[in-house]
Amino acid sequence: MHIVIRPSAEAAAFLAAEAIAQALRANPGIVLGLATGRTMESVYARLVYLHLEENLDFSACHTFNLDEYVGLSRLNRNSYRYYMHEHLFRHVNINLQNTHLPDGEATDLDAECLNYERLIAKCGGIDLQLLGIGQNGHLGFNEPQSPFHSRTRVETLSDATISQNSPLFLRPGQMPKRAITMGLGSIFDCRQCILIATGNQKAEIIFRTLEGPITNLIPATILQKHRKCLIILDEIAAGLLKKNNHHESGQALQPISL
Question: Annotated catalytic, 18?
Answer: no
Question: Do 196 and 132 form a contact (C-beta atoms < 8 A)?
Answer: yes
**Which is it for strands 31-34 and 2-6: parallel, antiparallel or unpaired?**
unpaired
- Active-site residue identified among 68, 112, 143, 189: 143
DSSP class of residue 226 equals: -
Of the candidates 87, 116, 114, 105, the residue with the CA atom closest to the CA atom of residue 176: 105
Per DSSP, the chain holds a count of helices (H) and strands (E) of 7, 11
Instruction: Respond yes or no: is residue 138 known to be catalytic.
Output: yes
How are beta strands 153-156 and 178-181 bridged, if at all?
antiparallel
Q: How many alpha carbons fall within 13 Å on the CB side of residue 4? A: 21
Give 115-126 as a DSSP string: HHHHHHHHTTS-
Measured distance CA(258)–CA(256) in Å, rounded? 6
Question: Any idea how long the chain is?
Answer: 258
245 is catalytic: no
Write down the catalytic residue from 100, 138, 165, 234. Answer: 138
* Catalytic entry in 78, 136, 142, 165: 136
Render 18-36 in DSSP notation, one character per residue: HHHHHHHHH-TT-EEEE--
Confirm whether 55 is a catalytic residue.
no
Strand partners, 155: 179
| Pick from 182, 230, 206, 226: nearest CA to 43 | 230
Catalytic residue among 67, 68, 112, 155: 67
Q: Where in the sequence numbering do the catalytic residues fall?
A: 67, 136, 138, 143
